[in-house]
Amino acid sequence: MPIIQIDGQEHEVDTGQNILQACLSLGLDLPYFCWHPSMGSVGACRQCAVVQYQHAEDEHGRIVMACMTPVTEGALFSLTGDKAQRFREGIVEALMLNHPHDCPVCAEGGECHLQDMTVMVGHRDRKYRGKKNTHHNQYLGPLIHHEMNRCITCYRCTRYYNDYAGGTDLAAMAAHDHIYFGRHEEGVLESEFAGNLVEVCPTGVFTDKPLVHEYTRKWDLQSAPSICTSCAVGCNTSPGERYGKLKRIHNRFNADVNGYFLCDRGRFGANFVNSVNNLNYPGSRTEDGRFNALDQQQALLKMAEACDTNNIAGIGSPRASVEANYLLRTLVGADNFAPGFSDVEQPLVELALTIQQSSSAMIADIKNIESADAILILGEDVTNTAPRIALALRQSVRNKAYELAADLGLESWQDSAIRTLAQNQRSPLFIATVGDSRLDDVAEERFNLAPDDIARLGFAVAANIAGEANLGSDDELQQKAKNIAKALKNAKRPLIISGTSCGNSALMESAAQVTQALCNADKQPLPLLSMIVAEANSLGQAMLISDNAVSLSDLTARACAGALETLVVLENDLYRRGKEKDINELLENITNVIVIDGLDNRTLSASSLALPAANFAESEGTLVSMEGRAQRHYPVYLPNAQRRASWHWLLACLKQMGRDEVTEIECFDDITQACATQNSSLSGITTAAPNHQFRNIGVKIPRQTHRYSGRTAMRADISVHEPKQPVDKETPLAFSMEGLNRSQPGSLLPFVWAPGWNSNQSLHKFQSEVGGQLKLKGGTAGTRLLQATDNSNNIALFESPAAFKALKGQWQMVPRHKIYGSDELSVHSPAIAKLVRPAFVEINASDAKKLGVNDGDGVDLNDNKGDKLTTLEVSINDSIATGCVGYSVGFIATENLLAGESLVLSKAENWSPSESQQAVSSGVSDV
Partner 1 sequence: MFKSLTSQLQTMWTILQHTFTKAETVQYPEEMPYLAPRYRGRIVLTNDPDGDERCVACNLCAVACPVDCIALQQGVRDDGRWYPQFFRINFSRCIMCGMCEEACPTNAIQLTPDFEMCEYDRQSMVYEKEHLQIKGTGKYHDYNFYRVAGLAIAGKDKGEAQNESKPIDIKDLLQ
**DSSP secondary structure letter of residue 161:** I
DSSP H or E stretch at residue 329: helix 322-332
> How many residues sit in the footprint of partner 1 (CB under 8 A)?
46
Indicate the residue among 10 and 717 with the shorter CB distance to partner 1. 717
| Residue 707: CB minimum distance to partner 1, A | 5
Collapsed DSSP state (helix, strand, coil) of residue 378: strand
Q: Considering beta carbons, is residue 133 or 925 the nearer one to partner 1?
A: 133
- Other CB atoms within a 10 A radius of the CB of residue 61 amount to 17
Can the peptide bond before residue 282 be classed as cis, meaning omega within 30 degrees of 0?
no
Under rule CB under 8 A, residue 125 binds partner 1? no
Interaction between residue 720 and partner 1 (CB under 8 A): yes
101 binds partner 1 (CB under 8 A): yes
Q: Choose, by CB under 8 A, the member of 137, 479, 846, 918 that binds partner 1.
A: 137
CB 837 within 8 A of CB 818: yes
Query: Coil, strand, or helix at residue 142?
Result: coil
Rounded least distance, CB 346 to partner 1, Å: 45
DSSP-derived 3-state class of residue 676: helix
List 60, 124, 127, 178, residue binding partner 1 (CB under 8 A)? 178
Q: Phi and psi (nearest 5°) for 300?
A: -65, -45
Q: Which stretch binds partner 1 (CB under 8 A): 259-267, 278-286, 386-394, 708-716?
A: 708-716
The interface region with partner 1, picked from 134-142, 309-317, 645-653, 663-671 by CB under 8 A, is 134-142
Q: Is residue 740 a contact point for partner 1 (CB under 8 A)? A: no
The yes or no reply on residue 219 touching partner 1 (CB under 8 A) is: yes
Minimum CB–partner distance for residue 147 and partner 1 (Å): 8
Binding segment for partner 1 among 214-222, 452-460, 540-548, 856-864 (CB under 8 A)? Answer: 214-222
Among 115, 216, 275, 530, binds partner 1 (CB under 8 A): 216
What DSSP state is assigned to residue 895?
A: T
Helices (H), 73-129: 82-95, 113-121
Contact 384, 817 (CB under 8 A): yes
Q: Which residue in 243, 251, 248, 246 sits closest to 273, CA to CA?
A: 246
Contact pick of 213, 581, 834, 868 for partner 1 (by CB under 8 A): 213
Binder among 108, 111, 116, 147 for partner 1 (CB under 8 A)? 147
Binding of partner 1 by 702 (CB under 8 A): no
Provide DSSP, 254-313.
Answer: BTTTTBT---HHHHHGGGGGG-TTB--S-EEE-TTSPEEE--HHHHHHHHHHHHSSSSEE
Q: Residue 730 corresponds to which amino acid?
A: E
Q: Which amino acid makes up residue 750?
A: P
- Options 170-178, 269-277, 432-440, 765-773: segment touching partner 1 (CB under 8 A): 170-178
d(CA 238, CA 221): 10
Task: State yes or no: residue 248 binds partner 1 (CB under 8 A).
Answer: no
Decide: is 55 part of the binding site for partner 1 (CB under 8 A): no
The residue (of 201 and 382) whose beta carbon lies closer to partner 1 is 201
- Residue 614 is which amino acid? A
Q: CB-wise, 217 or 818, nearer to partner 1?
A: 217
The radius of gyration computed from the CA coordinates of the chain, to the nearest angstrom, equals: 28
Dump strand ranges (E) for 381-425: none
The yes or no reply on residue 97 touching partner 1 (CB under 8 A) is: no
Answer yes or no whether residue 135 interacts with partner 1 by CB under 8 A. Answer: yes
Three-state secondary-structure class, residue 240:
strand
Q: Kindly provide the residue ranges of all beta strands, DSSP E only, lying in 379-450, ordered along the sequence.
A: 429-433, 445-448
Distances (CA, A) of 673 to 159, 238, 654, 685, 813: 46, 25, 17, 8, 43
- Is the Cβ of residue 212 or residue 740 nearer to partner 1 in the bound state? 212
Q: Does 102 bind partner 1 (CB under 8 A)?
A: yes
DSSP 755: T
Question: x/- site string to partner 1, residues 500 to 519, per CB under 8 A?
Answer: --------------------
| 116 lies in the binding site for partner 1 (CB under 8 A) | no
With beta carbons less than 8 A apart as the criterion, state whether 158 and 231 touch: no
> Binding to partner 1 by residue 660, rule CB under 8 A?
no
> Is the distance from CB of 391 to CB of 339 less than 8 angstroms?
no
Q: Among residues 55 and 178, whose Cβ is nearest to partner 1?
A: 178
Report d(CA 890, CA 291) in Å as an integer.
28
The amino acid present at 563, given as its one-letter code, is: A
Stretch that binds partner 1, among 397-405, 554-562, 705-713, 877-885 (CB under 8 A): 705-713
Q: How far apart are CA 667 and CA 646, in angstroms?
A: 13
Nearer to partner 1, 762 or 826 (CB): 762
Give, in order, the Cα–Cα distances in Å from 865 to each of 578, 861, 868, 869, 904.
18, 11, 9, 11, 9
Tell me: does residue 243 bind partner 1 (CB under 8 A).
Answer: yes
719 binds partner 1 (CB under 8 A): yes
> Contacting partner 1 (CB under 8 A), which of 53, 87, 180, 281?
180
Q: How far is the CB of 606 from partner 1 (least distance, A)?
A: 37
Q: Least distance from C-beta 151 to partner 1, angstroms? A: 11
DSSP code per residue over 589-606? T-SEEEEEESB--HHHHT
Closest CA to 464 of 487, 446, 444: 487
Using CA atoms, how far apart are residues 398 and 40, in angstroms rounded to an integer?
13
Q: Does 220 bind partner 1 (CB under 8 A)?
A: yes
Sign of the CA dihedral running 75, 79, 85, 89: positive
Among 712, 793, 910, 912, binds partner 1 (CB under 8 A): 712
Q: Contact between 139 and partner 1 (CB under 8 A)?
A: no
**Which is nearer to partner 1, 221 or 526 (by Cβ)?**
221
Distance of CA 467 to the CA centre of its chain: 38
Residue closer to partner 1, measured from CB, 110 or 739: 110
- CA angle in degrees (0–180, nearest 5) for 488-491-495: 60
For residues 355 and 798, the answer to whether their CB atoms sit within 8 Å is no
Complex with partner 1: residue 211 or 393, whichever CB lies closer: 211
For partner 1, the closer of residues 96 and 806 by Cβ is: 96
CA angle 268, 276, 300 (to 5 degrees): 110
From the list 406, 408, 641, 716, which residue makes contact with partner 1 (rule: CB under 8 A)?
A: 716
Q: Give the binding range for partner 1 (CB under 8 A) out of 40-48, 217-225, 505-513, 579-587.
A: 217-225
Closest CB to partner 1 among 133 and 673?
A: 133
- Which residue among 28, 63, 96, 103 contacts partner 1 (CB under 8 A)? 103
Q: How far is the CB of 247 from partner 1 (least distance, A)?
A: 10
Least gap, CB of 723 to partner 1 (angstroms): 14
Q: Write down the least CB distance from residue 342 to partner 1, Å.
A: 42
Q: Is 173 in the site for partner 1 (CB under 8 A)?
A: yes
Smallest distance from partner 1 to CB 647, Å: 32
CB 219 within 8 A of CB 115: no
- Does 174 interact with partner 1 (rule: CB under 8 A)? yes
Q: Is 581 in the site for partner 1 (CB under 8 A)?
A: no
Interface residue with partner 1, options 133, 277, 416, 906 (CB under 8 A): 133
Residue 62 or 711 with smaller CB distance to partner 1: 711
Residue 882 zone, left/alpha/beta (φ > 0; ψ -120 to 50; rest): beta
Q: Say which residues have a Cβ less than 8 Å from residue 281's Cβ, sequence separation at least 6.
A: 293, 294, 612, 641, 642
Which residue stretch of 7-15, 101-109, 812-820, 863-871 sits at the interface with partner 1 (rule: CB under 8 A)? 101-109
Task: Note whether 127 binds partner 1 by CB under 8 A.
Answer: no
First to last CA, the chain: 64
| Site of interaction with partner 1 (CB under 8 A) | 100-105, 109-110, 130-137, 147, 149-150, 173-174, 178, 180, 212-217, 219-220, 242-243, 707-714, 716-717, 719-721
